[in-house]
Structure 1
Amino acid sequence: MGIPMSPRSAQVIDLETMRNRLRAKRHLVRLAPELDGLEMVYHLASDLDTLYGMPLLAWGLRDDGEVVGLVPWMEALTPCHDLDDPEHGHFVGYRDPETEEIFYTAPEHKVYELEHAAAYFDYEESGETTLLQQLPETLGTHALCLDEEATTWQLKLVFGWRLYNNGTIEALLVDESRVESTPVVAGDDCLYPGHSRHQVVYFFQRAIANRIRQEDPATLEALACMVGHDD
């Protein structure tokens, strides 16, 4: 028989508080660009035998110490391990195109880089949302933006990415009407976080963005289906 618990030993567990604590431990605290061409490998539920590759934009250090690869995916700069969608893709691993090796965890040199950088830039916790880091965009990623009251989309080149102390990552876009000098550089007043102005922001690789610009029928049809599904 079990030992009955006294009223004093009973504990009330706030599940929502526990969830928030777990989420906080998994939020990103530092980024490092991927400059050696490493890729994310994924497959689709409709074709499990075919593997697809996508270049990594960066690596991110989570508050719990885990290091994850990051790719512009759908509406966010997304940790590869979070890709588990039967329709859009399931994460398989990382790949080094030079050696064709596939591996599941971040390479040691990126882990060391991020850990040392996070220790050096040891920011104090603040109740206010503050900018921690700005990362350049190196893949030619584009954002398809829809304003709240508009009925047409805007296709814009992503300039860079901003990491905030709450773990949020925002894409930096250019307001062409405010460009005073070129090339645009970090800190220019014409740059703005995508979701500060647009209700919806979808990210596309450069090749797909070019097909949208060229009004490729198949690409536009797929885009229309995606937008309709989102609505």
Structure 2
Amino acid sequence: MDPRKPGTTRTATILPFPDRPREVDQQKILQLSPEYEGLCLLYSHHALSHDKLYAIKILCWARLADGSVVALVPWLKGIARCIDLDNPESGCAEGYYCPRSERRFSDAPEHHQRALEVRATYPNNSPIVQEIPDLTGSHAALIHEDNSRFQLEPVVSWQLNDKGEMTAMLADTSETKEWPILPGSDCLYPATEENGFRYFFQYHIANQIKSGGVMATRALSKLITP
């Protein structure tokens, strides 16, 4: 085609390409299905071992904006989708695992996929889309201002808001008159409101810290260091 000469009139309309969805938008969490059967996420962690796989209990399954269904686990300072764990040096997802049957698998269980499809049909006019209980024994580690004292607070529940963000909810026991403390209780508050919040610990790590086990020294050294 000949180059257009200066001064000639355009005969075609230039249409912009449609905006492509950002990857972060495609991975937004839309709905949750709590994991009640103790299924685990397997992951490798080369900083700990090149020969072993580790297991962490799955908190729930989530449908993302791109339609995929993935497992969610408490990880360091927040919630991680299994697709976020992609570095063998710090944690790389290696599939799912059922401790009872010792079966490994790679896709979300069908009943969770169906539950999430049904959940997607629920109307919602609240900024809090869902609140689910923490059935994995997650604990939030809190450091006091002088770095000399810490405490481990069990996570009661997790809230999913309409932005696709997950928030761990802790209990202020001085503000409750009802026991046991359940998701949605008025005494719950976000862990992120604590200035001394550091990490989320898995159930077995939290209990080793409480009992002064071998893992406690390693965990505490990371905990006290800002």
TM-score by length of 2: 0.83
How many residue pairs were aligned? 217
Residue pair 1:94, 1:103 contacting (<8 A) in 2 also: yes
Residue pair 2:142, 2:194 contacting (<8 A) in 1 also: no
Unaligned runs of 5+ in 2: 5-9
The 5 A counterparts of 1:18-57 are 21-46=22-47, 47-57=49-59
Partner deviation per Cα, 1:202-231 (whole Å, 9 max, x = no partner): 111122111212233542234313553xx3
Match of residue 219 from structure 1: 216
Partner deviation per Cα, 1:89-126 (whole Å, 9 max, x = no partner): 2110011223322222212221111011112x1436xx
Residue pair 1:32, 1:114 contacting (<8 A) in 2 also: yes
Unaligned runs of 5+ in 1: none
Aligned partners of 2:108 and 2:153: how far apart in 1?
31
Greater fraction of residues in helix:
1
Partner residue of 1:63 out of 59, 62, 65: 65
1:84–1:227 distance in 2 versus 1, CA, 3 Å: farther
- Residue 208 of structure 1 aligns to which amino acid in structure 2? I
Stretch moving more, 134-143 or 39-48: 39-48
The 5 A counterparts of 1:4-19 are 9=14
- Residue 203 of structure 1 aligns to which amino acid in structure 2? F
- Residue 84 of structure 1 aligns to which amino acid in structure 2? D
Residue pair 2:34, 2:61 contacting (<8 A) in 1 also: yes
Match of residue 101 from structure 2: 99
Match of residue 135 from structure 2: 138
SS of match in other structure, 2:209: helix
Partner residue of 1:174 out of 171, 176, 190: 171
Match of residue 7 from structure 2: none
SS of match in other structure, 2:208: helix
SS of match in other structure, 2:67: coil
Partner deviation per Cα, 1:111-158 (whole Å, 9 max, x = no partner): 111011112x1436xxxx8111000111111110246x5534331011
**Percent same amino acid among aligned pairs?**
34
Q: Within the alignment, does 1:156 sit opposite 2:153 as a pair? A: yes
Aligned partners of 2:20 and 2:143: how far apart in 1?
35
Residue pair 1:195, 1:201 contacting (<8 A) in 2 also: no
- Two-structure CA RMSD over aligned residues (Å): 2.8
Stretch moving more, 48-57 or 180-189: 180-189
Q: CA deviation at 1:83?
A: 1.0
Q: Which has the larger radius of gyration?
A: 2
Aligned partners of 1:196 and 1:9: how far apart in 2?
50
Q: Within the alignment, does 1:80 sit opposite 2:82 as a pair? A: yes
Q: CA deviation at 1:51?
A: 1.4
